[in-house]
Amino acid sequence: MSRFFTQEHEWIEVDGEVATVGITEYAAGQLGDIVFVDVPADGRELTKGDDAAVVESVKAASDVYTPASGTVIEGNAALTDNPALVNEDPEGDGWFFKLTLRDESELGELMDEEKYAAYIARL
């Protein structure tokens, strides 16, 4: 499995043709206590950069953008009942959605873990 990151603090983990997307620990920390998450519907077609989900915290509401193009195959239903899961485990059980990738070459435009760590260190 490979994990990549965006400058908007989304992560995408690729396992074969299926990718899981969420927000980073840094993003969850910046948002504060998350109170609502709206994930995309199964079957939704997304193009890289599309707003795919919404996350609301006590501080702000924010869009979550898709780091790669594809078709949504699953939204994380657990976030409906427990949006705080994003705060508890943002880069694990707090994932937002899974999709089948349309163009794997788009991943080359993203940062690996080392580059992302350097990026957030400068913020």
Q: Looking at residue 32, which CATH number applies to its domain?
A: 2.40.50.100
**CA-CA distance, 58 to 49, in Å (whole number)?**
25
Report if residue 108 sits inside a domain: no
Whether the predicted pLDDT of 43 surpasses 90: yes
Work out the angle at residue 28's Cα, subtended by the Cα atoms of residues 116 and 76, and round it to the nearest 5 degrees.
100
Q: Domain span at residue 25?
A: 2-103
Question: How many structural domains does the chain have?
Answer: 1
Non-local CB neighbours of 117 within 8 Å, separated by 6+ positions: none
Whether the predicted pLDDT of 1 surpasses 90: no
The predicted-structure confidence for 102-114, as pLDDT tens digits, reads as follows 999 999 999 999 9
Average confidence (pLDDT) over 18-28? 97
More confident residue, 59 or 96: 96
Write the single-letter amino acid at 89: D
pTM of the model: 0.96
In this structure, are residues 37 and 110 in contact, taking their beta carbons and an 8 Å threshold? no
